[in-house]
A and B are shown apart, each in its own frame.
Chain A
Amino acid sequence: MAAADSPSAALRRRDLCSRGIRLAGKMRADVVDLLDAYVEQQGLDASASVAAVEGVPLAAVERWDEQTGTQRLLENLAAYRAFRALLAQMLEEQREQLGEADAGLGRALAAVLLQVSAFAYHLEELLRLESRGIPGEEGDGPPPPPRLSLFEQKLRGLGVLRELAQWAVRSGRDLRQLAKPSPANGAAPGLAESP
């Protein structure tokens, strides 16, 4: 625990956080572009409401300002690991549906998948710095959901990308909180409360 508080660790944390913030920003921009392309290619209504889909990590959080640094990192890591699997599944479905017909969308999906993987790795680095154990990935996760219809796949894809875009914004905010000097080991400073 002492190592996590050393000056060099603090510098390393700030450096990782800064790079992470830039990664998250780039990822968000690319996800937003991908979302626009996805909606158009899949013939969806951009304003369609999509019910929360099982397995898609929700970015929505209560009492965000009260979270500790470790909580932020763990929640982010769990989310991006889930997105990695979801995007891989979307890519597979895309290839099955369209083959080579829509290589552009497939490439954009693959590029975002790469960024998601890189970001997950980045989060693991930050957790190591906090001297926290990296939670293991639970094998293949929950059993695969029943096969969805083509339309259901498209809607789920919309939900995945929307939620990922939210997470990219949240991750940037989480890392800024993490980069602030912390008053105690593992405790993240809360936002100044004002009415």
Chain B
Amino acid sequence: MRRRQQQQQQQRQQQQQQQQQQRRGRSLSGAVGALCRALPPRARPAPDTLRCARFDRPQASLDFWRLLYALLKQIHGRKWTESDAIDNQIRFVKAALWYYGYDRPELYRLPSDGSAGSRELLLAFSWLLHRISLLEQLLARNRVKTGDETSVCTCEDGLPNSLKGTTEKAPEHGLEGGVDVRYLQWLNGRLRFQWRSLHAQHEEQCKLLHKIHLFTSGSHVDQILGHFSVTETDLVRQPENYKQLLQLLESETMQLEAFLEWKQLEPVYWQWMETVLDNMAEEGNTCESQDARVEGSGLPKVASCCPWADSLTGQIDKLSRDLTTLREQLHKLTTRRKAAWCEKVKTREEELQKEGFSATARKIQESVELKLLDLTYLCAPPQKRMHGSHRLVFRNKHPASKMGFGRSVSKEPVSAVSATEVIRELQMTEASLERELKQLQEECRQRLDEVAEGLDGVICISP
């Protein structure tokens, strides 16, 4: 009797386990499928690739490298060419993973023809999912733009990085016989003219944009936006031109729904990834002794040149120089002020005590601490900075006017940045850039003055 009960129990347990496995299997395939569908259409893997990778099948490696390349390039926002050779792609992916702090040596040892290592890539992919919120970033970056977009940061403007490459290559293409300096002057003038006309065009565009926003206020179904953008206005006139936009919107909606599905099934995926680690740990035990020898000659080799480290060391040096100068200036100023203060206070000590200066002093201390809190807050990341392209929305500040509407501040599902903030930041950036430019010009002036002394019989009077 008992044995039958036990048997029954065992059977039930087995059934349950089987069911669980089936369920897990189904939910795993659901999770993997949802994950794949939540990735952008240009870089969407087949769920099979991930499954093959889990078993370290070499045929999935190439696809996985390409997948990682496509995804990372989209995040980095630069133009990406699918026609890049596979070893370039691999190098890029390795460098990007290193950049984000993925320090698993096995990945960097993978061959650069993409023939092996799909399991390692799967691990790296999963790590990226978490570390840089890969899905969310991709969704945010590839958002279908139906509005008038403008970027709120000037990150892409800093050219110096891209210049470095050209400075190294340039000396080979020296022009024969040199170039007339007046050509340089002429080019410079033309450049300035182009900037000016660009300014004019921007103003023009600004005006028209504002008009369109103003005139269509109140028409949009979306209360938060309130008015149409140029695209939407044109859409009203000629809907047949915008079929592609509609398709994009639809496909994005499907992607978002896949994302929601993924969020539900996430635990299954992470558990699955843990099993991958388990497997690797088992395998690793058997060939650990081999690795130990290889490890010695493995990763920590002193790289001959690391351009990133050089450039950052340069930046750090510059910053530390600036900080040191600032410190000296502060020191001088403080000692001077302190001395003056002591002088003043010496003579009036009793007087101050009577006035109850110590109480005021404490209050002043508190207020100063508050003032400097900004700085300490800044020093401790994370700090929220605005990035990327935003949709321009016109919000009239006077809700009384016919076209304006009251701002519902309560539950706005938007990260609305106000133009005043952006303007303020831009003004600060502008000021610091102008200071930098003036510094450079000053340096040139000094050096040219020295040259001038060498010129016989000529005095240079600067304007």
Does B bind A? no
Chain A interface (Cβ < 8 Å from any Cβ of B): none
